[in-house]
Amino acid sequence: MTSKCFHCNEAVPRGINLSVEINQIQQPMCCIGCQAVAQTIVDNGLTQYYSVRTEPAHKGQSLIPEQLQKNKLLDEAVLQSEFIYQDNDCKEAILTIDGISCAACAWLIEMQLEKLKGLIKINVNATSQRATVRWQDDAVKLSEILQAIEHIGYQALPFKANEAELRNKKQSKAFIKRLGISGILMMQIMMIAFGLYFGAFSEMAEHNKVYLRWVSFILTIPIIFYGALPFYTGAIKAIKAKRLSMDVPVSIAILLAFSASAWATITQQGEVYFESVSMFTFLLLIGKFLEFRARSHAAQVSANLLKLMPMTATKVIVTSDSIGTEAQSGNLQGTDSQTHATQTKTAQTKEILVAAKQLILGDVVIIKPGEVVPADGVITAGLSQLNEAMLSGEQLPINKIVNDNVFAGTINGDGNITVQVKQATNQSFLSQLIRLSEQAQAHKPKIAKLSDKIAQYFVALILLTSIATAIYWHQHMPEEAFWITLSVLVATCPCALSLATPTALTCATTHLNRAGIMIKGGHVMETMPKINCFAFDKTGTLTTGEFTIDRVELVDNDLRYNQEQILAIAAALESHSEHPIAKPFAEHRDYNLTAQQVKVHSGQGVTGTINTIDYAIGKYTWLADSFSFEHGQAQMLSGASCILMANKQIIAAFYLIDKIRDEAFEAISILNKQNKTLLLSGDSQIACDNITQALPIDTVWGGLSAQDKMQQIKQAQVQGYKVAMTGDGVNDSPVFGAAHISIAMGCGADITKSGADVILLNNKLSSIDTLIKVAHRTRRIILQNYLWAFGYNAIVLPLAVAGYITPYMAVIGMSASSILVITNSLRLLKKQAK
């Protein structure tokens, strides 16, 4: 029997014995092309493609280069669903880019890719070696973007935390291997150099000197052409793109020193400095390795969120099974006896283990104690406590019951819960959190963009200065000219200048994420230190937004209701409303009472009929416009949260309270020390004034529409204030747009739709103070980094030109400068930000 190709489903020709191991099973392939494509899918961990595809793949084309095949595969919608964020006709993805050695590489990639038609935005983070790319799929494909990146010498793939970590480990091993080989060979060369030095004083035979020089030459070759390879590749990439990077002067210095010594060995004229160039390269590699380790640490910390996603999920499938038949016989109006069979069916459920990435909207999963929630959803059965520390920074577990939302990556406590999936994996809150975090980290403040430009010109200045130095010293002291020129090339390399901002921003954003503060806007860390006015919404911001019934006042009427009946009627009406005021009535619901002809009046109230009686419940102002109240009643009821009427008669008034957040007083008190505070609310002025009795807010405005709130913010800005607006993120989009920085409360809202720059995932107002402290500290550290970077280069350049700095000192100085900047930035990862 002829077998079918597992990849394209065509028949496998006789005599062809090709296969690929897929999910630990050898699968047949019909040709080399299909084998190559299938192997590429396996090598990139994309075997899930075969389990979720709806039709066979196209026949593989073996003539297409392997890397191009790999890129083309990533255009498949099935594969893209794992890592692509779709927004209308635009797509967005996070890419891992191998080969980034410094901030100049990031700048180079951005400059080159911005030329692509259809590419909307690209931000490259040199610290984490990742890029956030946004493009129009009908104008440019992901494979074309990856090909453009590879064209300038870098390798790019969709970002996956585990794979990124494996690549970092692989890169680390390669670094250690280069260091090991270079270090061992350098020690041998140094020993030979001592022999040559002593031989110069003891009249060593000439043929012995020549022999030792040749041995040094041979031992130096692996150091120059293997150990120093990363510097050359970086320099070639930059030159191909017609740019200058930090690797250019370093590569020139290494190759010049080696070439001069090699020429002296071959011609047997002049001095050799193999020991100098080998130590020079070894010290550069140490500096490069330490810088790589520091950057990897910062990138790993910021990527740890993705590791929280589980690999598998327990999915519930409903099946219909026949449980029995019943035969019926009889004469029907004189016809022959007929037998009728009736079959009874029942719904049964079974549990299967599936990949978490395969979960789609509407799937039902069971989450057992200790398991990680595989997708965003709502609890349909069971109750438990969930640890949401990865989102909010709060370690205490949160009680969850039926109809409560749960988020992917959170940990289930001690109860079994059944959850219906509400978001696909790549649309989950955690995925959005990671994507927006990457955007914020990749954002470049004005000072960073300026430093990138300065760094480009500074490299050109180094090269010109080196040429001038060589010419000058060749005329005045020829024997020292070469080494002084090398010192200038290396000592003044501006690596630290380009690392000053991205490392600090990455560490600061990671620190805030740990504290439950999500930075969406790239300008936040730059703008926050300038803020001197904080405006707040009331409901859901200064208060919890969860109303409770404080008291019920019954009004004398002919119908003679008691309080229990009143609450049951109100609950029957309010069950049709989504307004926050409707929620506290839910616990009084009596399902024997059903409201008919219900009409919800948005923002006003609800009307309906129960047992032939017309009821209305809503705001006093709304009902007063429709019905006439007695003067005494009007005065009494004006302070009620809502009023219940039956057949146009007032029967009850409800007084609800919205609890002020526990930490609100302390948070406002801290902000008041150096800032102005405003309360801008749509609630009545009386309710707002009540808030000021508990909280020390400077200015209070009540009864405001969204437009009124915008005017108040603009008025504060005219007075010279930099304003940050804090709200619940639901109805505050226009107001958020007017503020310099917008802060939203809570992790329950869809963060892609909210217009906020910052989201307090932990719902704590005290987090605003943490944000301020971290922003100020980040600015200080960035300024310290620039002060050191500019100061070092300003001091070392004239010293190097004057000949006071040896090549060894130059290498140590350059490496120490970069490491100092990164280490200073890593201080932002510490728990306490002061």
Q: Among 618, 543, 547, which residue's Cα sits nearest to residue 576? A: 618
CB 379 within 8 A of CB 416: no
* Helix, strand, or coil (residue 102): coil
pLDDT along the chain (834 residues), means of 10: 79 84 87 77 67 62 49 65 70 78 68 81 75 83 82 72 62 85 89 74 75 90 90 80 73 82 84 76 74 61 56 75 44 41 56 77 86 86 79 67 83 85 74 63 59 70 86 86 79 71 79 81 83 86 80 75 88 83 86 87 83 86 70 64 83 83 88 89 77 85 80 89 81 75 71 68 86 91 87 86 80 76 84 52
Q: What domains can you pick out in the chain, each with its CATH number?
A: 1-73 (no CATH), 169-303+441-505+782-829 (no CATH), 310-320+349-371+376-422 (2.70.150.10), 509-543+661-777 (3.40.50.1000), 545-659 (3.40.1110.10)
C-alpha–C-alpha distance, residues 574 and 568, integer Å: 10
C-alpha–C-alpha distance, residues 795 and 495, integer Å: 15
C-alpha–C-alpha distance, residues 10 and 19, integer Å: 14
Structure tokens at 685: 């002025």
Q: What is the pLDDT at residue 450? A: 65
Q: What is the pLDDT at residue 309? A: 64
CB 509 within 8 A of CB 440: yes
C-alpha–C-alpha distance, residues 47 and 52, integer Å: 9
Q: What is the pLDDT at residue 754? A: 58
Give me the residue label for tokens 């983070």: 125
Q: What is the pLDDT at residue 387? A: 78
* The Cα angle at residue 383 between residues 313 and 657, in degrees rounded to 5: 130
Q: What is the pLDDT at residue 2? A: 66
CB 710 within 8 A of CB 735: yes
Distance of CA 531 to the CA centre of its chain: 25
Q: What is the pLDDT at residue 774? A: 92
Burial of 28 (0-12, 13-18, 19+ CB in 10 A): middle
Beta-bridged to residue 125, according to DSSP, are 130
C-alpha–C-alpha distance, residues 58 and 54, integer Å: 12
One-letter identity of residue 719: Q
pTM of the model as a whole: 0.59
CB 571 within 8 A of CB 590: yes
Residue 253, C-beta contacts closer than 8 angstroms, at least 6 positions apart: 280, 486, 489, 490, 807
Q: How many alpha carbons fall within 13 Å on the CB side of residue 479?
A: 3
* Helix, strand, or coil (residue 563): helix
Q: Among 321, 435, 352, 417, which residue's Cα sits nearest to residue 378? A: 417
Beta-bridged to residue 123, according to DSSP, are 132
Q: What is the pLDDT at residue 632? A: 57
Q: What is the pLDDT at residue 89? A: 74
Burial of 579 (0-12, 13-18, 19+ CB in 10 A): middle
C-alpha–C-alpha distance, residues 643 and 619, integer Å: 6
Q: Which letter does DSSP use for residue 4 in this model?
A: B
CA torsion sign for 250, 256, 259, 264 is negative
Structure tokens at 662: 């526990």
CB 597 within 8 A of CB 573: no
Q: Among 696, 701, 744, 741, which residue's Cα sits nearest to residue 722? A: 741
C-alpha–C-alpha distance, residues 538 and 714, integer Å: 19
Q: Measuring CA to CA, how many Å separate 753 from each of 423, 431, 749?
A: 14, 15, 8
